[in-house]
Chain A
Amino acid sequence: MENAPTEPMVVNADRMAQRLMQRAYNRDGLPEIAAGLALLASAGLLGMQVLYPRGSIVNRSADFGFALLIPVLILGSQWAIKQVRRRYLIERVGYVVPKPVNRLRVGAAFCVALLTAVAVAFAAQRRIFPPDGWILAEIALVLCAMAVLNGRSQRFVIGGVLVAVAGVLIALRGASLDAGMAMLFGFAGALALLSGSVVLLRFLREPTEACE
């Protein structure tokens, strides 16, 4: 293997390390597969809520699923990725012990989530939500920004742009918020799952080099 071109001299060594770690983290496609599964599960549950009348067993199951399945998928996916890497991919991805979670950062993220929830609840009570189309387009743009910022590679940028375009198109078609979100999450989930699977297959096909 050729030496990768050395990074330009970056004064901020921490930022350089974060960028390298993020690239290594996404290298095997497992995080994309996990995100794709979580998005597809969300799309399925949203679809159940749209297709079945309120109060029906299926609709209630979807509510229950959201309350239970999504947090488990989101929190459990990190654990599952770690286990798969340690058990099956350690010879390819290597072994790393991250630093303990920064409690201050977790606290800040929790506060932001809480404030957002309060703002959404307030808007719902006062009925001052913008039209469904606007919310859909905004969700698509947020998904796009998350993909670009977290992925830091070309495929994430392309995926993010495709999701943003899909969100705007769904919004322009005048779909209701629930149906639009189901379609958008379904599209984003399928895209992430497909991209992650292709990356994983290519990663597994790369020959393993002899140990140092």
Chain B
Amino acid sequence: MSAKILRLAEIDRIIHEPARLMIVALLAAVEEADFQYLHQSTGLTKGNLSVHLSRLEEAGYVAIEKTFRGKYPLTICRLTERGREVLDQYKKVMKAAL
């Protein structure tokens, strides 16, 4: 079996999950976005999105900050340096293997 295919076994399983990959890919394409924007863009339910964001925050891939814009509460999410590195690595492995 090719060594490139074997590298698939080392893939980061946290961002390999489709919903989390959507979230991480979206956050990689913007500076920062709030919970509502991610909810609208991904089509995930709020509960599901919340669980996945918590998982990504625990892994240190996403930073979450709760703030306000006027009276509107914002849960701002941004990709951390570590998250960006992991996503880049993920893309490299997938491109090489498939």
- Report A's interface with B, CB cutoff 8 A: 1-4, 6-7, 9, 11-14, 16-18, 20-21, 23-24, 27, 86, 90-100, 209, 211-212
Q: Are B26 and A21 in contact, with the CB atoms below 8 A?
A: yes
Q: Is B63 an interface residue (CB 8 A)?
A: no
Q: Are A9 and B18 in contact, with the CB atoms below 8 A?
A: yes
Q: Are A212 and B75 in contact, with the CB atoms below 8 A?
A: yes
Instruction: Find residues 36-81 in chain B having any chain A CB closer than 8 Å to their own CB.
Output: 36-46, 48-50, 69, 72-76
Contact of B22 among A6, A97, A209 (CB under 8 A): A6
**How far apart are B69's CB and chain A's nearest CB, in angstroms?**
7
Contact of B91 among A13, A23, A95 (CB under 8 A): A13
Instruction: Find residues 1-57 in chain B having any chain A CB closer than 8 Å to their own CB.
Output: 18-19, 21-22, 24-26, 28-46, 48-50
In the complex formed, the residue of A with least CB distance to B26 is A17
Q: Are B33 and A94 in contact, with the CB atoms below 8 A?
A: yes
Given pairs A13-B28, A16-B25, A93-B36, 15 additional interface contacts (CB within 8 A): A1-B45, A4-B44, A6-B19, A13-B90, A14-B91, A20-B25, A21-B41, A24-B41, A27-B40, A90-B36, A96-B30, A96-B34, A211-B35, A211-B36, A212-B75
Q: Are A13 and B87 in contact, with the CB atoms below 8 A?
A: yes
The 10 closest A-B CB pairs, nearest first, are A4-B43, A94-B37, A94-B36, A17-B25, A6-B18, A13-B25, A24-B41, A95-B34, A17-B29, A97-B31
CB-CB under 8 A from B94, the residues of chain A are 11
Q: Are B50 and A212 in contact, with the CB atoms below 8 A?
A: yes
**How far apart are A177's CB and chain B's nearest CB, in angstroms?**
40
Q: Are B30 and A99 in contact, with the CB atoms below 8 A?
A: yes
**How far apart are A26's CB and chain B's nearest CB, in angstroms?**
11
Contact of B42 among A4, A13, A98 (CB under 8 A): A4
Q: Please report the C-alpha to C-alpha distance between residue A90 and residue B87 in the assembled complex, in whole angstroms.
A: 29
Q: Please report the C-alpha to C-alpha distance between residue A23 and residue B26 in the assembled complex, in whole angstroms.
A: 12
Q: Please report the C-alpha to C-alpha distance between residue A14 and residue B91 in the assembled complex, in whole angstroms.
A: 9
Contacts A6-B19, A6-B22, A13-B87; A94 near B29 (Cβ below 8 A): no
Q: Please report the C-alpha to C-alpha distance between residue A3 and residue B52 in the assembled complex, in whole angstroms.
A: 13
In the complex formed, the residue of A with least CB distance to B28 is A17
CB-CB under 8 A from A16, the residues of chain B are 21-22, 25
Contact of B41 among A3, A13, A23, A211 (CB under 8 A): A23
CB-CB under 8 A from B73, the residues of chain A are 211
Q: Are A96 and B39 in contact, with the CB atoms below 8 A?
A: no
CB-CB under 8 A from A86, the residues of chain B are 69
Contacts A6-B22, A11-B95; A94 near B30 (Cβ below 8 A): no
In the complex formed, the residue of B with least CB distance to A22 is B41
Contact of B45 among A3, A9, A24, A98 (CB under 8 A): A3
